[in-house]
Amino acid sequence: MKLRYFSHSAFEVTTNNGKVILIDPFLDDNPTSTVKSIDVKADYIILTHAHGDHIGDAFKISKRCNSTIICTYELANYCKSKGVSAHDMSIGGGHNFEFGRVKFTIAFHGSQTPEGTYGGQPAGVILTIDNVTIYHTGDTGLFYDMKLIGELNKIDYLLLPIGDNYTMGINDAVRAVELVNPKIAIPMHYNTFPVIKADPNLFKKEVEQLGKNCRIMQFGESIEV
Ligand code: NI
Ligand code: MN
């Protein structure tokens, strides 16, 4: 399976049998993404929360590709009100889709929709596809239950924010890596805007000092996972 990083919190997973799943596809208004929404396709779109830099172009892509959006209940209702199809879930729940398993976790953050309405609770998401487990934390501060999440789910790839201000910064993110204990940590949610400027190489260095692996994905890069 392939993992592509667009920048910010936006990723694309392509399964071994060709299904495409986007996570938080913030592309058209994302100054660091060279890939725009018209360039991608999706069978499913997973949203961690309702903020504009995470919903991004989900509705546009969903309407063009007839993709199902997977997210928490309140956000799913918001999606449906925009005329797209959504599969609603809640935190702590998992579901087996045709491409693999999706489970939502807690995240400490907000989740107001771009229109100012309640978007439900923000979430992280654990994907198990083709025997690989990816934990995309969404936007969150550090929380100790990450240790339990790591123990219960055996994370291969941990995608976590390092940009500070709205989420964990580098120091807390390094502690998050320690708690989750993934095979590989991949930093996200940094350098999109001046307020979340962070040096991924510093994060990598500190993660490696723990004896853990870090892979900095370049914006637009695709890797085999
Ligand atoms: Ni957010
Ligand atoms: Mn965000």
Which residues line ion ligand 1, judged by CB < 5 Å?
51, 139
Summarize pLDDT for 115-154 with one digit per residue, the tens.
999 999 999 999 999 999 999 999 999 999 999 999 999 9
User: How does strand 184-188 pair with strand 10-14?
Assistant: unpaired
Please tell me the distance between residue 16's alpha carbon and the centre of ligand 1 in angstroms.
Answer: 30
DSSP 121: -
DSSP type of residue 217: P
Q: How far is the CA of 17 from the centre of ligand 2 (A)?
A: 30
Give the containing element (helix H, strand E) for 42. Answer: none
Task: Report CA(87)–ligand 2 centroid distance (Å).
Answer: 22
Question: How confident is the model at residue 135, as a pLDDT?
Answer: 99
Q: Which CATH architecture has domain 2-215?
A: 4-Layer Sandwich (3.60)
CA of 139 to the centre of ligand 2 (A): 6
Q: What letter does residue 39 receive in the DSSP assignment?
A: G
Give the distance (Å) from ligand 1 centre to CA of residue 111. 7
Rg, Å, the chain Cα set: 16
pTM of the model: 0.98
pLDDT of residue 56: 98
Question: Which ligand is in closest contact with the Cα of 114?
Answer: 1
Please list the ranges in the chain whose pLDDT falls under 70: none
Q: How far is the CA of 213 from the centre of ligand 1 (A)?
A: 26
The bound ligand whose nearest atom lies closest to the alpha carbon of 196 is 2
For the chain, give the number of residues.
Answer: 225
Place of tokens 């592509």: 4
- 3-state SS, residue 149: helix
Q: What is the pLDDT of residue 173?
A: 99
Query: Could you tell me the residue ranges of all domains in the chain?
Result: 2-215
CA 104 to chain centre: 11
The alpha carbon of 53 and the centre of ligand 2 are apart by a number of angstroms equal to 5
24 token code pair:
């938080």
Ligand 1 center to 51 CA (angstroms): 5
